[in-house]
């Protein structure tokens, strides 16, 4: 178990495990495998998956007012302004399906968002159990993102080399068509990786100090990464 997690936190989390739910943040650079691992965690622990990136992409597809705002930022690889993102998460976490445990994927990404989330957790009486930091060296991320294909319907991630769908161009889960994300081009990826280094990475220290950070080696086979997560959170499947 990583020493970043305190004994007190483990005791309080294991008490809540009796009611068998967890609240998790999946943390990591663009392409680290947050979405990929979220699918497995949802399947095994029946948690609600909240991906802010996915919510923005749906809003863009539905041409909502928020989607129009988010589109210009996302295409360039920049972060959507905090006030928009925090408002979205606030609304989402208050919904019924989050009461049995959730995975936050891609939120928070700035110190301000992390502080807003703390406030929100107090208001909604939520405890964060683990922040799972999936660590992948910067030089491997470009290859992952350039070969990624995403399901248009459910958002599941595939890779032309590392994680091929059973049927080419089709999602294993829902049979939806696969496409290349607009922000998976070289220019946007460079901005996203840079933004991660400058604005998001400092949150590792923030959650280490809170004693809830788990560090996972993300540069292994997808199933091995998942096993590592399962072993470290110590919750039986």
The active-site residue, picked from 34, 57, 144, 149, is 34
Encoded one letter per residue, x for contact with Zn ion by CB under 5 A and - for no contact, window 172-191 reads: -xx-x---------------
Beta strands in the chain (DSSP E): 23-27, 48-51, 102-105, 130-135, 148-151, 157-159, 178-179, 213-217
Between 13 and 74, name the residue whose CB sits nearer to ligand AP5. 74
Beta carbon of residue 133, minimum distance to ligand AP5 (angstroms, whole number): 11
Instruction: Give catalytic status of residue 149 as yes or no.
Output: no
The three-point CA angle 233-102-17 to 5° equals 45
The residue behind tokens 């400058």 is: 198
Strands of the 213-217 sheet, one edge to the other:
48-51, 102-105, 23-27, 130-135, 213-217
Pick out residues in 135-154 that bind Zn ion (CB under 5 A).
Answer: 151, 153-154
154 binds, among ligand AP5, Zn ion, Mg ion, none (CB under 5 to 8 A by kind): Zn ion
- What is the size of the binding site for Zn ion (CB under 5 A)? 8
The active-site residue, picked from 57, 144, 149, 192, is 192
Name the residues that contact ligand AP5, by CB under 6 A: 28, 30-36, 51-53, 56, 73-74, 77-80, 85, 106-109, 113, 144, 147-148, 157-159, 162-163, 183, 192, 218, 222, 225
Between 147 and 176, name the residue whose CB sits nearer to Zn ion. 176
Binning the chain into helix, strand and coil, the percentages to the nearest 5 are 50, 15, 35
59 binds, among Mg ion, Zn ion, ligand AP5, none (CB under 5 to 8 A by kind): none
Specify the stretch interacting with Zn ion by CB under 5 A; choose among 57-65, 142-150, 155-163, 229-237. Answer: 155-163
Strands of the 148-151 sheet, one edge to the other:
157-159, 148-151, 178-179
Between 119 and 182, name the residue whose CB sits nearer to Zn ion. 182
The active-site residue, picked from 57, 109, 144, 149, is 109
Residues in the chain: 237
Q: Which of 171, 213, 216, 233 is in the footprint of Zn ion by CB under 5 A? A: 171
The active-site residue, picked from 57, 144, 148, 149, is 148
Tokens for 24?
């998790």
CA distance 30 to 33: 8
Q: Is 35 in the site for Mg ion (CB under 5 A)?
A: yes
DSSP letters of 164-177?
A: --SSTTB-TTT-PB
Catalytic annotation, residues: 34, 109, 148, 181, 192
């Amino acid at each position: 178990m990583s020493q970043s997690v305190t004994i007190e936190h483990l005791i309080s989390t294991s008490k809540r495990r009796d009611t068998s739910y967890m609240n998790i943040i999946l943390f990591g650079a663009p392409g680290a495998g947050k979405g990929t691992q979220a699918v497995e965690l949802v399947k095994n622990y029946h948690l609600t998956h909240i991906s802010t990136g996915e919510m923005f992409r749906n809003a863009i597809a539905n041409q909502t007012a928020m989607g129009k705002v988010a589109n210009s930022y996302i295409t360039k690889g920049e972060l959507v302004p905090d006030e928009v993102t925090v408002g979205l998460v606030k609304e989402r976490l208050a919904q019924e399906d989050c009461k049995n445990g959730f995975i936050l994927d891609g939120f928070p990404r700035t110190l301000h968002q992390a502080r807003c989330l703390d406030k929100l957790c107090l208001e909604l009486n939520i405890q964060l159990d683990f922040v799972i930091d999936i660590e992948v060296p910067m030089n491997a991320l470009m290859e992952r993102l350039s070969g990624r294909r995403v399901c248009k319907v459910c958002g599941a991630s595939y890779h032309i080399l590392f994680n091929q769908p059973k049927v080419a161009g089709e999602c294993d889960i829902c049979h939806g068509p696969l496409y290349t994300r607009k922000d998976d081009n070289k220019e946007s990826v460079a901005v996203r990786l840079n933004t991660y280094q400058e604005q998001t990475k400092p949150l590792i220290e923030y959650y280490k100090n809170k004693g809830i950070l788990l560090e996972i080696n993300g540069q292994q086979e997808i199933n091995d990464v998942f096993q590592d997560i399962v072993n470290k959170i110590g919750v039986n499947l």
